[in-house]
Structure 1
Amino acid sequence: MPAPTGGDLAIAGARLRTNMECEPDRTATALLVRDGVIARLGSDAEVRAEAEAAGIPVRDVAGATVTPGLFDSHTHPHWAAEVTAGIDLGGLGTVAELREALAAEHARLPEGAWLRGWNLEYEAFEGEGMRGELLADAAPGRPVALICYDLHTALATAPALAAAGITGGRDFDDASEIVVDASGAPTGELREPTAYNLVFDAAPKPSHEQEREALRDMFRRLAAVGLTGGAIMDGREATVGLLAELEERGELDHRLTVHHWHAVGDDDEAVARVIANRERRGRLWQTGAIKLFSDGVIDTGTAWLHRPDACGDGRAAFWPSWERFAEVVRAYHDAGMLIATHAVGDYAVNRVLDVYAGLPGRPGLPFHTIEHLEVLSDADVEKLRGSGVTASMQPLHMQWRAPDCSDTWATRLGEERAATGYRVRDVLDAGATLVLGSDWPVAQYDPRLGMAWARGRHTPGDAAAHVFEPEQRLTGEEALLAYTLWPALARGHADRGVLAAGAVADLTVWGADPVTAEPDELPEIPIRLTVVDGRVVHEG
């Protein structure tokens, strides 16, 4: 097949938010795209004349606002395409509600099919604990495998455990765990991917064509909310192969960086293989990036904290050997790769910063990121200052917090430490680069919701909703920059995140200005056009 090429397009009648400190022409209302690259900005008349002379179609957007394309700095679209094929269990807060939903799905499914569910919340099991037997009678005899909303815990019934050959506990290279009862029998709770993937790997798999089409359709869903690209944080060989195939077929509607997921048990040979493949890329996708874990999540007690949580947990790293973590980071760093490390707990952030600080300089290459940073002490924030580290955060995840601190997250942390959550303003004031994302399918992928939470820190659209740490709110301009220019700069891309001649033509066209709109209005602003590489991939 011929190599993919970019599109030709002109947009007129717009309000342009260029993200340029020194805009070449503040009166510009139009832009021209040739072969996927912005060729010029100018007046409607200038751009229209040049476009018509070249036979390039002109879209008049009648006063809409054009911004650089929105980039989700932490997403899992390939995983989400698989996970969300099951039943959505979000908002079901009791075991009775879960049983009712599972029974309805059981009645719908053909005999022999697995019952899969996602978005499971911990609160339903606060009284009796996470045990598969609590749900078994909702789907008698059928394997049931459910994954929690944070993707760190799964729950399986006895038939699913049997299919995976799980009869008791096991030792893992990382902090994963098959939870067992006093007799050593598995309860069905499986903590962290190495443990729960035993079950999901035993479930029936879609065909290659089904998997490819599901990923294609996932990117189209993301484009419909204005996203033009993202950082895939669970990359594997299958992901790279599917992206290459979609691009060859002309069906890739997203610009992507694939972070290879490094497992704790990966040896030096595995590291060498990843490094050897670091230059794989297409027109719209690239590898050369790594994802590691330093800890788990607060809700299960696996986040790494400065002091134990209310249950006495939180003082263990994801890695049995922190020295091995540092060795792996150094190997990928020396190979010129971009490293993203999951660090939810404050002590995890602190320790990862120490490892990063010990790395030698790499002139001309971007520095590494830390993902999530859900809680930070004042010392951790100060340690970010001057580190060069990018903080990749998701204020959207505050949607699971309760104003009275009765949620699992705040109960474990305590009210005082919960108030140190999602300190995006403090991170910015410390001079760190801030980028925002969703962690989809952990939270909703819509960047309008992400911006609304970052700016309002309360449930969007609810005027009476509690505002969490109002002093941490971002401005409208900061929220947009954290989805456009700042991710580009953090990844060393001078031709992204701006509207300027020579920049790639990834564009989001809004029905209103996302900077001046009130936070509560953001989720309702229509997306008029989403443009990737000069091609309209969504029109609203």
Structure 2
Amino acid sequence: MVGILFRNGTIRRGPHEPDAHALLVTDGRITAFDETAVRLAGDDVETVDLDGGFVMASFGDGHAHPLQGGLESQGPQVRTETIAEAVAAVKRYADEHPELPWIFGGSYDSSLAESGLFDARWLDEAVSDRPVVLRAWDYHTVWVNSKALELAGIDATTPDPVLGEIPHRDDGTPLGTLREWGAVDLVMNVAPERPIEQRIEAIGVASDYYLSRGVTWVQDAWVEPLDVDTYVEAASRDLLTMRFNLALYADPRMFAQQLQQMIAARERVAAVGNPLLTANTVKFFADGVVENETGALLEPYCSGLHRHGMQVWGSGTALADAVRAVDAAGFQIHIHAIGDAAVRQALDAIEGAIAANGPRDRRPVIAHAQLVDPADLRRFAELGVIACMQPLWAQLDALMTVLTVPRLGQERADRQYQMRSILDSGAVLSHGSDWPVSSGDPREGMAVAATRQTEDGDPQGGWTPHELLTVDETLHSYSTCVALQAFGDRAEVPWGVIAPGASADLVHLARDPRRASGADLPHNAVRATYLRGIREFSAHE
């Protein structure tokens, strides 16, 4: 028997359970608490002195892009405070890597340029002989140099593609910013794929990033066939150190051919037999993002530039038909919906799938739910839809004040990220980060959920303070509710809870976050992270 006894600290068992002060883990499972734990612990049990620290079920990330985050770390780091600094970072990286035929990087701050529009000529100053492709922090936009435009065949005569936009200069030439994947694909389709070993390394980088922040399960929310190959290879080599679920990307331009491929991918992942990897979900985009004015709105944007935004699957029944088919095949539904029109369309599609396919434990997810019409709030609970929201975004940072609020107007802007309203409606609220779009550290998201302030403490009292969560509520959303989204309670060994028989997926923090101020939450050190009773991260190693 392999055992660990945690003592001399606080163990959070859950929102409706009393805290414990000792915890026994044997053979990777939670066994007992308090005096019983101490009594059952044998002489060969490892004792972890919590030193006044705090243990709870480990965090999860209900919506992220770990493979992209790992790959991003391998390129120039362009999350800078000025455009000039980003250009300089690209030049340094290119000079250090003359052997690379293409330069890939991310993820730059879209608010640094007016309307989020970046010019290819700025990048040409850094690199002109090789193509450069930089992802924006929204991952719906890229900034490229002139060489990349040339190789992609994008010039003044190129029309906007389906599901994409190519902004132009006043003289009609393409600017160098490509919006949404219809336009982004024009470049990516001529770019080389990253080598498989580099991609497997990226999974390791992402895993190390997450484990050091107390996270042991991540929903990869946009997985294409090459990504499946990468995860399967990593799982086959037993290289995974945390749990991943793959959400297979449904593309409206080719969905008719995709469904059987998705079923085959799910079976292929299952055949590997690695319990840390599943592929049980299909990802849909209902719209884009507000910052590009491609988020789908019930009422027009203030600028009127794109009026109501973009419905990726159109305004007809295409999304509902695809959701119904995927649901009938037994997949979990995961829909990106930013604007209130997209949220309504997603809810309608899920409601249609339930009506057509009958009752089952499906746990559909709507990710982001940035703007929800008041008439639709109650529907999350009624339909059993999990709202996977990104608490870090619920603050008046530059992205919000420079790009988002001016497009929505004050009334709509103040209805964003209604986490308290969703929770009070009776719906399940899980948390995600969308990393590398934004930080994947739950402690940072927790701080914003509990304060709705920037790191500088603005505004006093919090933005839209009626939507604040308690720290304990956001702890629950980051752990047990993400595990519910992941069907962790239905696993052969359940996880996501602190209960006898459950997998010992744990995070050890230096202090009880429930007794900290909002400003202190991001600085609560992660001392260790455990997966199935194995210490996968230690601050002392």
The normalised TM-score by structure 1 is 0.90
| Residues 92 and 460 (structure 1), Cα distance of their counterparts in 2 relative to 1, 3 Å cut | closer
Offset of residue 409 of structure 1: 0.8
Offset of residue 449 of structure 1: 0.3
Kept in 2: contact 1:9–1:535 (CA 8 A)? no
- Further displaced range: 206-215 or 99-108: 99-108
1:294 to 268, 286, 295: 286
Partner residue of 2:201? Answer: 213
| Residues 8 and 77 (structure 1), Cα distance of their counterparts in 2 relative to 1, 3 Å cut | farther
Q: Does 1:333 align with 2:333?
A: no
Matched AA of 1:131? D
Q: Does 1:52 align with 2:47?
A: no
Matched AA of 2:63? H
* Mapping for residues 75-94 of structure 1, pairs under 5 Å: 75-93=64-82
Partner residue of 1:120? Answer: 108
Matched AA of 2:365? T
Kept in 2: contact 1:275–1:332 (CA 8 A)? no
Offset of residue 133 of structure 1: 2.2
Matched AA of 1:342? H
Residues in 2 aligned to 1:462 and 1:80: alpha-carbon distance in whole angstroms: 28
Kept in 1: contact 2:443–2:522 (CA 8 A)? yes
- Secondary structure of the residue aligned to 1:256 is strand
* Mapping for residues 419-438 of structure 1, pairs under 5 Å: 419-438=414-433
* Mapping for residues 56-71 of structure 1, pairs under 5 Å: 56-71=45-60
* Mapping for residues 320-399 of structure 1, pairs under 5 Å: 320=314, 322-360=316-354, 362-399=358-395
Residues paired across the two proteins, number: 526
Partner residue of 2:16? Answer: 21
Matched AA of 2:26? V
Matched AA of 2:526? I
Residues in 1 aligned to 2:80 and 2:135: alpha-carbon distance in whole angstroms: 14
Residues in 2 aligned to 1:463 and 1:296: alpha-carbon distance in whole angstroms: 28
- Secondary structure of the residue aligned to 1:299 is helix
Matched AA of 2:443? R
Q: Can you list the C-alpha shifts for 1:475-505, whole angstroms capped at 9, x where unaligned?
A: 0110001011112223433222211112121
Kept in 1: contact 2:396–2:454 (CA 8 A)? no
- Secondary structure of the residue aligned to 1:500 is coil
Residues in 2 aligned to 1:205 and 1:379: alpha-carbon distance in whole angstroms: 44
- Further displaced range: 214-223 or 384-393: 384-393
Q: Can you list the C-alpha shifts for 1:49-70, whole angstroms capped at 9, x where unaligned?
A: 64435x4433222222110010
Partner residue of 2:150? Answer: 162
Residues in 1 aligned to 2:481 and 2:439: alpha-carbon distance in whole angstroms: 21
Kept in 2: contact 1:68–1:507 (CA 8 A)? yes
Instruction: Please identify which structure carries the higher helix content.
Output: 2
- Secondary structure of the residue aligned to 1:246 is helix
- Further displaced range: 366-375 or 290-299: 366-375
1:311 to 296, 303, 307: 303
Q: Can you list the C-alpha shifts for 1:280-311, whole angstroms capped at 9, x where unaligned?
A: 33211211111100000001110000111122
| Residues 13 and 243 (structure 1), Cα distance of their counterparts in 2 relative to 1, 3 Å cut | farther
Offset of residue 417 of structure 1: 1.3
Q: Does 1:534 align with 2:514?
A: no
- Further displaced range: 477-486 or 237-246: 237-246
RMSD: 2.6
Matched AA of 1:289? T
Residues in 2 aligned to 1:32 and 1:10: alpha-carbon distance in whole angstroms: 6
Residues in 2 aligned to 1:11 and 1:431: alpha-carbon distance in whole angstroms: 34
Partner residue of 1:74? Answer: 63
Kept in 1: contact 2:90–2:126 (CA 8 A)? yes
Offset of residue 37 of structure 1: 2.4
Partner residue of 2:140? Answer: 152
2:256 to 262, 268, 290: 268
Kept in 1: contact 2:301–2:408 (CA 8 A)? yes
| Residues 338 and 353 (structure 1), Cα distance of their counterparts in 2 relative to 1, 3 Å cut | same
Residues in 1 aligned to 2:87 and 2:242: alpha-carbon distance in whole angstroms: 38
Kept in 1: contact 2:289–2:295 (CA 8 A)? yes
Residues in 2 aligned to 1:502 and 1:392: alpha-carbon distance in whole angstroms: 27
Offset of residue 125 of structure 1: 2.5
Offset of residue 106 of structure 1: 4.0
- Secondary structure of the residue aligned to 2:125 is helix
Q: Can you list the C-alpha shifts for 1:255-301, whole angstroms capped at 9, x where unaligned?
A: 12211111122232321221344343321121111110000000111
Kept in 2: contact 1:460–1:523 (CA 8 A)? no
Offset of residue 10 of structure 1: 3.6
Offset of residue 362 of structure 1: 4.8
Q: Does 1:31 align with 2:21?
A: no
- Secondary structure of the residue aligned to 2:317 is helix
Partner residue of 1:3? Answer: none
Kept in 1: contact 2:5–2:22 (CA 8 A)? no
* Runs (5+) with no aligned partner, structure 1: 1-5
| Residues 338 and 464 (structure 1), Cα distance of their counterparts in 2 relative to 1, 3 Å cut | closer
Residues in 1 aligned to 2:530 and 2:172: alpha-carbon distance in whole angstroms: 55
- Further displaced range: 62-71 or 307-316: 307-316
Residues in 2 aligned to 1:384 and 1:238: alpha-carbon distance in whole angstroms: 33
Residues in 1 aligned to 2:425 and 2:290: alpha-carbon distance in whole angstroms: 24
| Residues 382 and 206 (structure 1), Cα distance of their counterparts in 2 relative to 1, 3 Å cut | closer
* Runs (5+) with no aligned partner, structure 2: none
| Residues 285 and 185 (structure 1), Cα distance of their counterparts in 2 relative to 1, 3 Å cut | same
- Secondary structure of the residue aligned to 1:482 is helix
Residues in 2 aligned to 1:516 and 1:129: alpha-carbon distance in whole angstroms: 43
Q: Can you list the C-alpha shifts for 1:214-256, whole angstroms capped at 9, x where unaligned?
A: 2112201110011111111012333334334334444311112
Matched AA of 1:147? R
Residues in 2 aligned to 1:273 and 1:298: alpha-carbon distance in whole angstroms: 32
- Secondary structure of the residue aligned to 1:467 is coil
Kept in 1: contact 2:78–2:85 (CA 8 A)? no
Residues in 2 aligned to 1:112 and 1:14: alpha-carbon distance in whole angstroms: 51
| Residues 519 and 229 (structure 1), Cα distance of their counterparts in 2 relative to 1, 3 Å cut | same
Residues in 2 aligned to 1:365 and 1:328: alpha-carbon distance in whole angstroms: 19
| Residues 9 and 234 (structure 1), Cα distance of their counterparts in 2 relative to 1, 3 Å cut | farther
- Further displaced range: 80-89 or 472-481: 80-89
The normalised TM-score by structure 2 is 0.90
Q: Does 1:441 align with 2:433?
A: no
- Secondary structure of the residue aligned to 1:455 is helix
